Amino acid sequence: MRPLAFFLLLVSGVAAAPSKFCSTPTSLPTVDLGYEIHQAISFNETGQYYNFSNIRYARPPTGELRFTAPQPPVKNCETIQKGDTGSSCPQALAEWYACNLALQKQVIKSYSECGKHLIPPPDPLEREDCLFLDVIAPRAAFDNPSKKVPVMVWIYGGGYAFGRKGLDGDPSGLIERSKEVDPDGRGVIFVTFNYRGGAFGFLSGPNVRANGTANVGLLDQRLALEWVQDNIHLFGGDKNRVTVLGQSAGGGSIMHQITAYGGLRGRVPFQQAIIQSPGIPLLPGNKQQDDLLQDFLGRLNVSTIQEARQIPYEALYKANADMVAISPQGTFTWAPGPDGSFVPALPGTLLAQGGFDKSVKIMTAFNHNETEYFTSRDNVNNTVFVDNLRATFPGAQNSVIEYISKKLYPPVFYGSQPYKDFFTRAKLSLAEAGFVCNTHYLQKAFSRLGSTYGYKFSVPLSFHGLDVFYTFFNGPSEVVPASASPVALMLQRYLVSFALTGKPNAHAEVDMPVYGSKKQLLELTTGSLDIITDSSNNER
């Protein structure tokens, strides 16, 4: 396995289970997309589904299209596209993240061994021409499309800096659960896609808006979702029954899609959303966004975005990777920033103001122990805590830092606070600011409009991202042992039931409650399923 792909499997916590394919290329079906004819790359005999892999959904974002909104593909019907060449968008990892994962996996023994050497070299599959998607279509749906089936679209996470389609796992388990839950046994179609990350996807600020397009990674996502609306019927899918789901930056991306344009440009290109541990970094104001841009351009020895479009890809890759490598603890440097258009403000603000698509049905989730490996072990006193706050929230006024450190998370360890020492204090502050509060914003906004659902993932060790193993469960593994298989299967049934019916409780042992005025969630542990009150509904 190539080094970066292997490392990303390690840090994402999910290794895709191998599937057995036996069909020959000549026996596989094709789909006429209007701009190209695409052939399935394989047929899974066990799961009875076709895999249409590496379908182009946008032109190569290179040259003059670099740092601009994605453009629809150019028509090319001369040859049948087989999708046999994979790709991922340029990747970048932070040293702190690589270090903490290496410690967790016992690759190294102490922080003294940390360094950039833990970040693997580029994978040969990484390139700018990366805007492709995969469609996994059950044979029953594809071969008989008269009754179209629901669609689940996965948006991967990765700190808005790394990740790629297919990395988080094989959707065979989800598709199988969907067939079990679906009375017709047809199940769902599964789609996932690449989008630009890091500096390639998330430049923002006034100078970007004047000379390019901000947040093009979000626009990649929107174009892929619109592609689903335009084309999924060709695979047997129902464009009016699309559920997007995503974790971490993928969940945060869904929040940005729901609040796009402040909700003023009609409905989003999906009907439902499952939002797991949504990550929304608090990217600061215009000055800080422009400072990042100038740092990036300076590393390229250019002064404008237009000049950067002429720079060789290798130089841009290095500049982006170097900036992400030195990201402050808990961050990855780049993230969506307010741009006056697609992102008029951060999602939490827009949700509070009513600036979002109110037609979407939602399910939210967060983990019990989100930030174990986001939190520095150097948090041993209040000075370090405050210094880390300043690094995490650059540009925050002293009064804000003081309020966070003294009022929201005071250094009191005598039982009156939900933490016992400086480390758990830092861990809680990062978890709430980075992930948990975002689910609260969603529930507060949407539960007023109708029935919403949510769950808390408390299966040991409940690290950020561990639930992705369970989402893509395909049988017991080192991460999901046989003892945890029942809860993995149940989680999948909740997810596919929501996609199929808008409610999560078909085939449920314990019904996931409506969030409602009681602020109720379902808590998943290895041994039980319990109804609890949402802990994020607190004064902080």
Q: Dump pLDDT digits (tens) for 96-110.
A: 999 988 887 788 888
The pLDDT tens digits for 452-494 are: 999 999 999 999 999 999 999 999 999 999 999 999 999 999 9
The pLDDT tens digits for 488-528 are: 999 999 999 999 999 999 989 999 999 999 999 999 999 89
Which of the residue ranges 315-324, 337-346, 383-392, 436-445 would you say has the lowest mean pLDDT? 383-392
**218 exposed, middle or buried (CB, 10 Å; 0-12, 13-18, 19+)?**
buried
**Average of pLDDT values for 438-455?**
97
Q: What is the pLDDT of residue 24?
A: 41
Which of the residue ranges 59-63, 111-115, 294-298 would you say has the lowest mean pLDDT? 111-115
Catalytic residue, chosen from 42, 248, 447, 536, is 248
The pLDDT tens digits for 157-206 are: 999 999 999 999 999 999 999 999 999 999 999 999 999 999 999 999 99
**Average of pLDDT values for 87-91?**
97
Q: What is the pLDDT of residue 427?
A: 95
Residue 10 pLDDT more than 80?
Answer: no
Residue 418 pLDDT more than 60?
Answer: yes
Percentage of the chain lying above the pLDDT 70 cut: 95
- Backbone φ and ψ for 166, nearest 5 degrees, come out as 85, -15
Cis peptide preceding 264, ω within 30 of 0: no
Instruction: Look up 370 and say whether it is catalytic.
Output: yes
Give the integer Cα–Cα distance in Å for 224 and 70: 10
Coil/strand/helix, residue 5 = helix
Output Rg (C-alpha) for the chain, integer angstroms.
Answer: 22
Residue 328 pLDDT more than 50?
Answer: yes
**Which of 463, 459, 452 shows the shortest CA–CA distance to 489?**
459
Q: What is the pLDDT of residue 379?
A: 84
**Average of pLDDT values for 411-431?**
95
Superfamily of domain 3-533: Alpha/Beta hydrolase fold, catalytic domain (3.40.50.1820)
Residue 23 pLDDT more than 80?
Answer: no
Q: What is the pLDDT of residue 19?
A: 40
Instruction: Look up 303 and say whether it is catalytic.
Output: no
Tokens of 495: 């997810």
Q: What is the pLDDT of residue 163?
A: 97
Tokens of 489: 């299967």
**Average of pLDDT values for 528-539?**
92
Q: Give the pLDDT band of residue 14 (cuts 50, 70, 90).
A: very low
Q: What is the pLDDT of residue 284?
A: 66
Edge-first strand listing for the sheet containing 37-39: 30-32, 37-39, 80-81
Residue 290 pLDDT more than 70?
Answer: yes
Mean pLDDT rounded to a whole number for the chain: 93
Which of the residue ranges 47-61, 207-221, 235-249, 266-280 would you say has the lowest mean pLDDT? 207-221
Residue in this structure with the two tokens 């900036």, named with its chain if needed = 323
Which of the residue ranges 33-47, 135-149, 373-387, 424-438 would you say has the lowest mean pLDDT? 373-387
Catalytic residue, chosen from 36, 95, 176, 370, is 370
Give the integer Cα–Cα distance in Å for 241 and 497: 12
Q: Give the pLDDT band of residue 16 (cuts 50, 70, 90).
A: very low
Give the integer Cα–Cα distance in Å for 169 and 22: 20
Percentage of the chain lying above the pLDDT 90 cut: 82
